Structure 1
Amino acid sequence: MAKVLLVYPSLRLLGYRFPYSLIPIANYLKAHGHEAVIFDAQVEDMRDFSPEGYDMVGFSILSGPQIRSALDMAAIVRERAPDTPIVFGGVHATLLPEQTAEHPLVDIVTRQEGEETTCELVETLVSGGDLSAVRGLTYRRDGEVVSTPDRPFLNLDDTPFLNYDFLKTERYVEFQRKPSIIYLETSRGCPHKCGFCYDPVFHKRKWRSKSPERVVDELEFVARKYGVQQVWFTDDEFAVSKKRVAAIAELMIRRNVKVKWPIFSRANYVVDYDREFLDLIRRSGCDWINFGVESGSPRILDLINKQITIDQVIRSVEILRDNDINAGLSFMIGFPGETLDEMRQTFELIDRCSSMYDKVWIGQISAFTPLPGTALMSECVRHGFRPPQSLEEWGEYYYNDPKNLAHFEKSLFRLIRTITLLTKFDFAYRGYRGAGILERRKVLKLIHYVLCRIAQWRWQRKQFSFPVEWVALDYALSWLKFGER
Structure 2
Amino acid sequence: MLLKYKQILLTRPPTGSNALQGGSDADPHPQPPLGLAYLAGVLERMENVNVLDILDGNFSKNYVYEVKEAVKKHNPDLVGFSAFTPFANPALEAATAVKEVNPSILTVLGGPHAVLADITMKKCPALDVIVYDEGEGQIEEIVSGKPLSDVSGIFIRQNGKVVPTAPRSYIENMDSLPYPAYHKLPHFPDGYRPHPPKSTGKKWCSIMWSRGCPFFCNYCNRENSFGLKFRNQSPEYVIDHIKYLHSEYGIEELTFYDDVMSLNRKATMKLMKEMTPEKLGFNLEWDAETRVDLVDKELLLEMKKAGCRMISYGIEHGVFIHDIKGGRATLKQAEDAVRWTHEAGIQTVGYYMIGLPQETEETIKKTIEFAKKLDCTYAQFAITMPFPGNKLYDEAVKSGLVKLDDTWDKFVYAGVGSGGIQAPVLTTNALSAKDLEYWAKRAYREYYFRASYILKKLFSIRSIQDFTMYYNGYKMLKKDTSD
TM > 0.5:
yes
The 2-side partners of 1:396 and 1:280 are apart by: 41
| Counterpart Cα distance in 1 of 2:439 and 2:386 | 18
Q: Is 1:244 the counterpart of 2:257 in the alignment? A: no
CA deviations on 1:342-378 (whole Å, 9 max, x unpaired) are 1111001111011xxxxx3233201111122212224
Among 336, 342, 347, the alignment partner of 1:321 is 342
Name the structure 2 match of 1:39: 55
Other-structure match for 2:184: 166
Which residue is 2:148 aligned to?
131
Tell me, yes or no, if structure 1 residue 217 matches structure 2 residue 240. Answer: yes
What are structure 2's unaligned runs of at least 5 residues? 19-27, 415-421
Deviation at 1:119, TM superposition (A): 1.7
5+ residue gaps, structure 1, are 355-359, 456-466, 471-485
* Deviations, residues 307-351 of structure 1 (Å, cap 9, x unaligned): 211111111122123222212211111111211111111001111
Residue in 2 that maps onto 1:462? none
The question of 1:350 aligning with 2:375 is answered no
Q: 1:70 aligns with which of 69, 78, 91?
A: 91
Contact persistence 2:352–2:382 (CA under 8 A): yes
Q: Deviations over 1:161-199 (max 9, x none)?
A: 233111122661439982121111101011111011001
Aligned counterparts of 2:313 and 2:396: Cα–Cα separation in 1: 25
Q: Aligned to 1:339, which of 331, 342, 360?
A: 360
Contact 2:385 2:424 in 1 (8 A): no
Could you tell me which amino acid in structure 2 is paired with residue 256 of structure 1?
G
Counterpart in the other structure of 1:413:
433
Question: Alignment partner for residue 378 of structure 2, among 362, 370, 383?
Answer: 362
> Could you tell me which amino acid in structure 1 is paired with residue 438 of structure 2?
T
Give deviations 1:370-421, integer Å, cap 9, x for gaps.
Answer: 12221222433466512333xx3324544443330245545x5324213445
Q: After the TM superposition, which residues 392-471 of structure 1 pair with which residues of structure 2 at under 5 Å, given as runs?
A: 392-395=406-409, 397-400=411-414, 401-406=422-427, 408-409=429-430, 412-421=432-441, 427=448, 429-430=453-454, 448-452=473-477, 469-470=482-483
State the alpha-carbon separation in 2 of the partners of residues 284 and 27 from structure 1.
28
Cα pair distance change 1:99/1:439, threshold 3 Å: farther
* 1:12-411 to 2 correspondences below 5 Å: 12-14=16-18, 15-18=28-31, 19-33=33-47, 34-37=49-52, 38-46=54-62, 47-49=65-67, 50-52=70-72, 53-64=75-86, 66-93=87-114, 95-102=115-122, 103-124=124-145, 129-154=146-171, 155-169=173-187, 172-174=191-193, 178-253=201-276, 254-270=279-295, 273-275=296-298, 277-298=299-320, 301-303=322-324, 305=326, 307-354=328-375, 360-381=376-397, 384-389=400-405, 392-395=406-409, 397-400=411-414, 401-406=422-427, 408-409=429-430
8 Å CA contact 1:182, 1:230 repeated in 2: yes
SS at the partner of 2:308? Answer: coil
Q: In 2, are the aligned partners of 1:232 and 1:263 still within 8 Å (CA)?
A: yes
Contact kept in structure 2, 1:336 and 1:383, CA below 8 Å: no
Equivalent pair of 2:116/2:388 in contact (CA under 8 Å) = yes
Residues 226 and 110 of structure 1, relative CA distance in 2, 3 Å threshold: same
Tell me which residue corresponds to 2:15. 11
1:281/1:396 CA distance change after superposition, 3 Å: closer
Measure, in 1, the Cα distance between the counterparts of 2:231 and 2:339.
30
Q: Matches of 1:198 and 1:13 in 2, distance apart?
A: 19
Deviation at 1:214, TM superposition (A): 0.6
Q: Give the secondary structure class of the aligned counterpart of 2:378.
A: strand
Are the equivalent residues in 1 in contact too, given 2:360–2:430 (CA < 8 A)? no
What RMSD over aligned residues (CA atoms) do the two structures have, in Å? 3.0
Distance change (3 Å), C-alpha of 1:317 and 1:16: closer
Identity %: 25
CA contact 1:239–1:263 (8 Å) conserved in 2 = no
Deviation at 1:449, TM superposition (A): 3.5
How far 1:281 sits from its partner (Å)? 2.3
Query: Aligned pair in 2 of structure 1 residues 342, 110: CA closer, same or farther (>3 Å)?
Result: same
Secondary structure at the counterpart of residue 25 of structure 1: helix
